[in-house]
Each structure stands twice: as C-alpha cells, then as structure tokens.
Structure 1
Amino acid sequence: MAIRRKFGYYPDNFDLDAFIAKYKLPAYKVVSILDLFISKPIGQEDNRWITLNAALLQKRVGKHYRRILDDLAESNIIEINDNFKMGEYSRSYMLKDEYQYAGGIKKYSIEGDKLNDALAVMNNRNSMKKYLEDIKLPRFNRTVDLPEKLFNHRYKALIYWFETEKLSIDLNKANDILESGKFREFEPNKYFSYLSAIDMINDKNYHLKCDINGRFYSSLTNLPKFFRSCLQYDGERLIGADVSNTQPLLLGELCNPIRIKQMKEDKNIVVDEKMAEDFLVHLESNPQDLKDYKKLVESGLLYESFIEVAPDFDRDIVKDSMMKIINDKGKNNTREKKLIRGALSEKFPTIAQLLDLLKSVDYHYASSSLMSIEAYNFVQYFPEILSYKEETKHMPLFTIHDCFLTTESNIDLLESEIKTFFNNNLMMSIPLKREQ
C-alpha cells in the first residue's frame, strides 16, 4: 500500500532485548505479533481473547509465526486457547495479566528489510497479474490484495492529504480525555489501543489500506470517536460531517436494475437466478413502496416510523434491530428482530425482497454490497471530484467510512458539496449530522 505502518507497539514491561536474545528472533517480527494485542484486528477491538488469521500472520512475519507465538506462550507473555476445531473453532490468544495491565506501551520499527528497486518492480508486476486473475472469481473467493499501483491511483485524492503530513493530534487534549475518562481503570482491555491510536497519528504513521469491498482505512479509522475533537490540519481543528442512516439510504440505491445486473456480471454478488429475475421484473413496475421508503430515509425518520410496532420500542431499539436485520442470516432469534422484520416486509416489501435476494446464496453479500456502494461514492468518486474543482481542490479532506472531515473554516463548503454530489449523482437528499 501507499503508506505502510512504520512502528509496532508492545507492553512497556516486556523485555524485548532479552526475549529476542533467548529465542534468536528478529525484534520487528516479535513486535509485529505483539502489536496485534495492542491495535487489535478489525471486529475484535472489544475482546481480551483474539483470534489470529494464519494468512494475516504469514503476511506480517512469514512462516515462523507459530514458533514466535509458542515462544511467547512458553515465556508466559501470552496465553493460548487450543480449543481448535477446523471450520468451527479457531485458536485464540490473549496477553497475560502482567502485560495486559502494564503501565503503558513502547514502539519499535516494524518496517523490516527493504526490497531493492528491481525486486520491487518485479513483485508489483506479479501482484498485478495475480490480481487481474483474482477479480474474475466471485467476490468471496478472492484472496489477492489490491496492487500498490492501483491502490495509489484509486485513492489518490485521499492519500494526498496524508502525504502533506499536516494532519496532527493535540496530545494535551487527548491525554486530558484519557485521564478524565479514567479509561485505564474502566476499559483496561482497550486502553493500549487508545494509546497506540493517538501515537500513530502523532507520529504520522497513517497505515493506509483498503479491504475487499473497497473501504479505505487509515489510522483515523482506529481512533475512537471521542478523540476526533483533538484532530487538526495545519494547526486548524478538523470537524466531521456524518451521513445519517447510511445503510438504509444505500439499500434504496441498490434497488436499481442496472446496478443489480452490473454487480452480477462483475461477480460482486452471487444470488439465486430465479429470485434475481423476479426482483428485476418487480423493479420495472416502479413500486410505490420503494418511493415511500426513499422519501422516508431522506427525511431521517425511518427508525421513528417503526416505533409504533411495539409499545416498548424507541428509536435506538429500532435502529439496532434494523442494522442486525440488514446484516444477519435472516433468522428471527430475538423478539425485536421478528417484529421489525415483519413490519419491514409489510411496509416496504421491495426492500425486504432485495435483502432476501442478496442473502439467497451467502448472507454476507448484503453487507458487502452496501459497503461497496458506500466505498465507491464516499471514498473514491466524491473525493476525486473535489480534487478537480477549483473551489474545493485546496480543501483538506479525510474520511472515516461515512464521515467526512475537513477544517473548521471549510465545513460549510464541505456539507454543501456533499449534498450537491448526492443530489446530482444518486438523485437523493442525504441527512447530515455535524460533529461538535
């Protein structure tokens, strides 16, 4: 990728020098693994025990990753849960209490060996060849990362603002938040990750990458929301504009025959063919419930419209249930989901039919499709347009999925541009919420 991580983190009471001398291991590989317990893998941020993907470990440290993990366990640095069963349970790991509750963290360079220019060119050429073959497969069968050259081109409008190295974080303010929130006492399992997230931005260690759905990740992605008020660009505070109801909003956009056909052709979705045929015929009838749905989502009142389903429902219950329904396997394992799913089918049958279609072969295609649309519009197309317009090309822009960040003096202009973009390109009005 364009800008890789420069440092890894480990507990400050771990004697790195003694450990690598004892086991004759490269320090940066040991730190690369310990760093996973500090800046945890996506989706495992709240967990003490973490599962580590073999492909991720292989990429980080090479084929000797299991030896390093075993050495760490032998030295009572980590604990290994060997309740492993192929296809059912994964081996999991956690730091021993002595290290989990250490006083702080240290950092170490994990850049490893540098490739010479000729070898780097050859590797880039081979990665491009593998990628072009890989994208012919259905999305969830793909394994090859986006080549660096394509990554740099696709996200150049966002990468530029990181490369200026004017993004910073107010350390005094961030430390005040840490102290006043007593995170070390109340959230010790997350405390290290907070420290590393702050330190990465302060060191301009931005760690840019993307995933299979095209979502763009950076050090900002790992920064907890309550630290965003500490962010600055060239000394000016950054302000965020959040798109509200993003997933419901994009569900309406997915009800488009051209888009459905293109996604099938590109193998970005694999669905039941008969269901797809029926759904496309249904869309040709220009269903009224879809018009009503889009209007309601654009008003920002979708969740409120479902409160009447049960006397004890409020907006938060409806929102939580709706998000689960969009992303789950289609099973009603709670009362809330059963009632909201039934109400969704009754009020907006087109949306319910779309979800059934996307989940007909693999339920992950529902969330994947929404993330792909979000990624294309929010972090590829929109930033690129701004980078070419005379009035906006000098406006700093950072994204955290469906949140856009710019300097305080530019926030009004950014919000205006967001609304214009979605009106012109997706024919929708989007609700925005400004971060204070």
Structure 2
Amino acid sequence: MRIYIPENLDIFELTHNNPPSFKPYKLDKLCYILHLINAIPLMDKNIQGEDFVPINAKKLQDKIQNYKKYLNYLESDLQIIESDNHYVVGEKSKGFRFIERYRTPVKSMQVEDFTFRNKLKAHKNRKIESVKHLGFLTKWFNDKLRIDYDYIDDFLVQEHNLKIKDKALWEYDRVRKKYKHPTNQMVHAQMSAQRLKWQDYNLMLDDNVYRFHTNLTNMPSRIRNAVTYDGQKLISLDIKNSQPYLSTILLSRDFWIVQKFERNKNNSLSIAFDEPQSRYFSYLNKINKVFNEIKSDTLNISHINIHNNDSYIMLGEIPQSLINNEFQDYIDLVVSGKLYEFLEDAFLQELGIELKDRKEVKAAVFQVLFTSNQFKGQAEAAPKRLFEQKFKAVFDVFAKIKSKDKSLLPRLLQSIESHLMINIIAKRVSEGYPLAPIYTIHDSISTTEEYVEVVEQIMMEELTKAIGHPPTIKQEVWCKSNMVKHLETLKEKAKVVA
C-alpha cells in the first residue's frame, strides 16, 4: 500500500527532532494526511486549480479517529502544512496545502503499520467492488501497461520551468476565473505518472454519473503520450464535440417517451409513473403499444442510470417542448464537428471575445451549456446569451432540464456517455475481440494499432444507432513526439510574448 509525500520532506528527521505530544500516534497516519493533499485533486479535477485542498473531516475520522491532533501537529508544531481555516457545515470542508517549501514533486513510501494498512486496503477493496462487473475493462490494467517515468519527469521539469518564467503561458480556468499554478500542475501530473509506474492502480465506478475512473482518466492528457501497452503505442479514438454531440439525443421525442419501464410477470412491458406525471397517463396509455416494441438498441432514458430524485426530468413536459423544427442548424454543426469553431468565430465577431486555444473554446461552450439559467443575466454571460440567440429552441430545452437543478444536464449527458462507451461499445469490443486492449477515458477509447479500425467501426455503428446521427471520430496516437511539440509550442509562445 503506497502513499505519496513531497520528495524533499524528511519526515523521519522532522518528527524525531520534534516528536508528537499526543497518543495514540502512528507515523503512517501522519504521512497519509500529507498524502491526501496531493491525492484528492487527482480524483477531482474541479479542485486541481484551488490553492487549498478540502479534506472531509468525517471521511478522515473514519480512518484516523484523533485526526485533529495530527492536523494540529503538522500545522503548528512541524509547520509542514497551512490551512485556510474556512469551512461551511454541509458545504465546504476546511482546506489545507503544503507550505511553499514542500510544494514539490512527490516520492512514494509504503504503509508499514499492519492495522492501518488493512484499513486502507478495506477502503480500496470497496472501490474494487464497484468495478467488479467491469472485468472486460479492468483486466487491461496489468504489468504490460507501462509508462516511461524518467522521460515524463524530465518533460514536467522543462514544462514547469518555462511556465514559471512566463506567466503568459499559465492555463486559465474560466469557471473559477483564476490561473492554474504550474507547480500544482507539475505535482499532480508527476504523482499520476508515479502511481502508474508502481502499478498502483486506482479503479472505481462513481455512483453519481457512473463514470469509470482509472489512472488514465486521472492523468493529464499530455503525459499519456508516454504510456504504452506491451511495448505498443496506444491510439485514442475521441468523439469530437462529445458533450454537444450527445446532447442532440435530448432533442428527440423518442428519448423522453418512457421514463421507466419494467417487465411484468407476462414478460410484457409496464410503465411506472411518478405522481407529477400521472396527468399524462391517458396520453401514455394510447402509445403503450409503442413502448412494447421498443428495441434494446434504441437509446431511451429508461436505459440510463439516473438517481431516483432526478425522476422529475419530465415525461410529458419535455416532449411537448420538442415540437419544433429549429434544431437542425445546431444538429448539423454538432454532427459535422464544427460547433466549437462556429461559436469561437461568433464570440470573436459579435462579442469581441478571443479565445486562445481549443481548451478555452471548450470551456466557453461548457459555460454556455452547463451554467445555471440564472447565470444568463450576469455580465460575463454574454456567450450564453449569444448561444440563446443563435439556437433559441435548443437553449429552451436545455434550460427546461436545468430548471430545478443546474447540474442535471451535465450529469445526464455524462450518464449517457458512460452507458454508451462502457456498457455498449467497450462491451461489444471485448466480446467480439477479446484480445483487444481497451481503455475508456470517458468520451474516448484507446487501443493498439492492430485493433483501432475495428474499434472505430464499432463506435461509429453504436453511436449512430443510439444517437441517431453519426459522430465525428478523431484518431490520436499517443507518442512522445506530441510532448516534444508541446514544449516547442510553449517556447514559441514565450518568444512571441517577449
């Protein structure tokens, strides 16, 4: 069981010179808390740009009963970490970070204490249990999956030095309206690479949108270029404009026509209704024959894993709003893979907003699609208002879905993505080509050159069948030359700014 702490931190010397005054005390528990400061952001990219890492007190107490004494010892006595001293019950946990001296790459160490190691193993086993049914995916996380760690280590140092010298190279987080610190980025990337190097696999299926999280999904895309399987390069098959592409299914009556159905004793389909939808019973009864003819390969909301408390997503309300023929312009742009380019040009020409790169364009589109309906009135929501102007009918459907919970639209799309990529596409590949290595990274699948064409064909067939429109799929080879180009691009940008 490995944990990771700053590489320049001699925790043995520090604790020897300034021993703790409390008991019970275990060095492994102390190091585990330090480990969390770097490990938590790996599993939650939403906090990677934050200065302080929130640590959930209840979850920490489950592993370390007197955790407050450890935190106080680390902060006040050893002065290794510092806190933002801010928490809101039920909303925000207190945040911690290393003092500047220890914001460095990490080194790994083994947990030696038998009891604590077993407690951590039990926690890891619960994650393993969540992916037990995904053996067709988890089996490829084996000793043939390799990463050139030395190459990555050198690459990250070069990248970090370039960014530290020139703040114009820093990545901007449009959602949080702040720049991502290069040191934090380097630490997270280096830690994710080191975990793969040690075959310290972290696999889990979340119970929110049912995404399959792995060492590869938690790894920055630029360093996946140093990953190989059995000495072979991996090739990624990405759905272009994936979230907008998947959103087109929400513009179809057929998707919403059934919210929930189940087989009765006679093996025919029966419908389950929520109270708010009972007024639509007569309407649904008239088309019950249609329900009984639904094919398993037709994507429908009843196929998607969603929480019961999301059941208000409108059987009857959404279909009525879909009687509109203004969707085609949006669908055409999405299916052709040109929506981002269209909006990038519109933002520039009509709003004077110039976006630096593809990441910024994607972030701006996500702001348009996924922010709350109330956000539209704010000054910085000009792109959202422009989208409404260009695609009014589409905007109204998305606004209806988000009317009670702004998170519902992105969660619904991610659940659709998970269902298609894992349960449909990856499973079909594994059944038809059991020797094909497959790695899902949310909206993409990576495999070796030998199988890339058949995997792409299966993706094309299944996505077209489910969504109703063919996707645009882009192949990208994972290779170190991409990392070289990345560094060259940063150097060129630095010259231009200078």
TM-score, normalised to structure 2, is: 0.71
Contact in 2 for aligned 1:40/1:193 (Cα 8 Å): no
Give the 3 Å change call, closer, same or farther, for CA 237–148 of structure 1 in structure 2.
Answer: closer
Match of 1:404 among 424, 440, 445: 445
* Alignment correspondent of 1:8: 3
Tell me the alpha carbon deviations over residues 57-83 of structure 1, each in whole angstroms, 9 at most, x when there is no partner. 245x24333332222112211112223
Q: Within 2, Cα distance between the matches of 1:429 and 1:314?
A: 30
Query: What is the CA-CA distance between 1:113 and the residue it aligns to?
Result: 4.1
Match of 1:166 among 133, 144, 157: 144
Query: What is the CA-CA distance between 1:407 and the residue it aligns to?
Result: 1.5
- Counterpart code for 2:464: N
Query: What is the CA-CA distance between 1:98 and the residue it aligns to?
Result: 2.2
* Alignment correspondent of 1:127: none
Bigger Rg, which one: 2
- Larger mean CA deviation between 81-90 and 264-273 belongs to 264-273
Q: Within 2, Cα distance between the matches of 1:72 and 1:172?
A: 31
Query: What is the CA-CA distance between 1:308 and the residue it aligns to?
Result: 3.7
Q: Within 2, Cα distance between the matches of 1:49 and 1:279?
A: 41
Q: Within 2, Cα distance between the matches of 1:93 and 1:367?
A: 29
Match of 2:48 among 19, 41, 45: 45
- Counterpart code for 2:391: F
Query: What is the CA-CA distance between 1:173 and the residue it aligns to?
Result: 2.7
**Structure 2 counterparts to residues 406-421 of structure 1, below 5 A:** 406-421=447-462
* Alignment correspondent of 1:345: 388
Is 1:96–2:108 an aligned residue pair? no
Contact in 2 for aligned 1:321/1:337 (Cα 8 Å): no
Is 1:279–2:276 an aligned residue pair? no
**Structure 2 counterparts to residues 326-341 of structure 1, below 5 A:** 326-330=369-373, 331-332=375-376, 337-338=381-382, 340-341=383-384
Give the 3 Å change call, closer, same or farther, for CA 173–72 of structure 1 in structure 2.
Answer: same
- Larger mean CA deviation between 62-71 and 359-368 belongs to 62-71
Q: Within 2, Cα distance between the matches of 1:423 and 1:258?
A: 15
**Structure 2 counterparts to residues 49-60 of structure 1, below 5 A:** 49-58=52-61
Give the 3 Å change call, closer, same or farther, for CA 370–207 of structure 1 in structure 2.
Answer: same
Q: Within 1, Cα distance between the matches of 2:7 and 2:127?
A: 35
Q: Unaligned stretches of 5+ in structure 2?
A: 165-181, 261-272, 275-305, 478-498
Is 1:242–2:260 an aligned residue pair? no
Q: Within 1, Cα distance between the matches of 2:247 and 2:385?
A: 17
* Alignment correspondent of 1:131: none
Give the 3 Å change call, closer, same or farther, for CA 375–248 of structure 1 in structure 2.
Answer: same
Query: What is the CA-CA distance between 1:36 and the residue it aligns to?
Result: 2.1
- SS in structure 2 of the partner of residue 238 of structure 1: strand
Query: What is the CA-CA distance between 1:409 and the residue it aligns to?
Result: 3.1
**Structure 2 counterparts to residues 73-88 of structure 1, below 5 A:** 73-74=75-76, 75-86=78-89
TM-score, normalised to structure 1, is: 0.80
Query: What is the CA-CA distance between 1:347 and the residue it aligns to?
Result: 3.8
Q: Within 2, Cα distance between the matches of 1:150 and 1:314?
A: 43
- Matched residue count: 396
**Structure 2 counterparts to residues 89-168 of structure 1, below 5 A:** 90-101=93-104, 104-109=106-111, 112-114=116-118, 149=129, 151-153=131-133, 155-162=134-141, 164-168=142-146
Match of 1:177 among 140, 155, 161: 155
* Alignment correspondent of 2:404: 361
Give the 3 Å change call, closer, same or farther, for CA 244–335 of structure 1 in structure 2.
Answer: farther
Q: Within 2, Cα distance between the matches of 1:325 and 1:268?
A: 27
- Counterpart code for 1:312: G
- Counterpart code for 1:282: S
- SS in structure 1 of the partner of residue 376 of structure 2: coil
Give the 3 Å change call, closer, same or farther, for CA 320–199 of structure 1 in structure 2.
Answer: closer
Query: What is the CA-CA distance between 1:152 and the residue it aligns to?
Result: 0.9
- Counterpart code for 2:36: L
